[in-house]
Amino acid sequence: MKVKAAVHLGTHTDLVIRELDLEEPRPDEILIKTVACGVCHTDIWVQQNYANAMVLGHEASGVVERVGRNVEKLAPGDHVVTAYNWCGECESCRKGRTWECDYFDDNFGGLRPDGTSPFSMNEEPVIPLMREGGFSSYMVCQKNSVIKVDSDLDLRTLGPLGCGIMTGAGSVLNYLKPEPGRSIVYWRTI
């Protein structure tokens, strides 16, 4: 299918709007109509330091359009937020510590495990950042990186849940481990 995307074409270049081809979802993937996507520091860093063609954006929210045959917990019409992908098979994932997945760093390469991308332009692959590519009208994501949210919530405000808010909350809950009834103070100097 044809989609519109803000594409990064090279180091220190502005994003440009281009028409891309987007593959149909594979058995473990989901096609999502993007509603909103935040801009994260990672997007900016990649734009300044990465030379390959990419669709940035990984703090996205949207509506499920289609699901692959192995996707059981999501259906067309579901409202979702995207997050990082995890394998589900390594020791960390089996223990429920998906943020420590042995393959977490593969998210930054953006490609599927077989080295392909769902996006292409002129028959050349365009890499989706974090295997998402939220700066596109549609995106194809792995089933492990999509979280269903209540349809009454405003999708335009939910994108940062999948990165910035989850990262901050995870840091506090998993590493500082506050006890019930205790307070935490965040101090920032400018």
pLDDT of 163 over the 90 cut: no
The per-residue pLDDT for 116 is 95
Model confidence pLDDT, tens digit, residues 4-32: 999 999 877 889 999 999 999 999 999 99
Confidence of residue 182 (pLDDT cuts 50, 70, 90): confident
Integer Cα distance of 113 and 103 in angstroms: 10
Identify the burial level of 83 via C-beta atoms within 10 angstroms of its C-beta, where 0-12 means exposed, 13-18 middle and 19 or more buried: buried
Confidence of residue 175 (pLDDT cuts 50, 70, 90): low
pLDDT of 92 over the 80 cut: yes
Contact predicate 131/107, CB 8 Å = yes
Q: Does domain 2-176 have CATH number 3.90.180.10?
A: yes
Single pTM value for the model: 0.83
In the chain, where the domains are located = 2-176
Contact predicate 135/55, CB 8 Å = yes
What tokens appear for 39 in the block? 């801009």
Model confidence pLDDT, tens digit, residues 67-87: 999 999 999 999 999 988 888
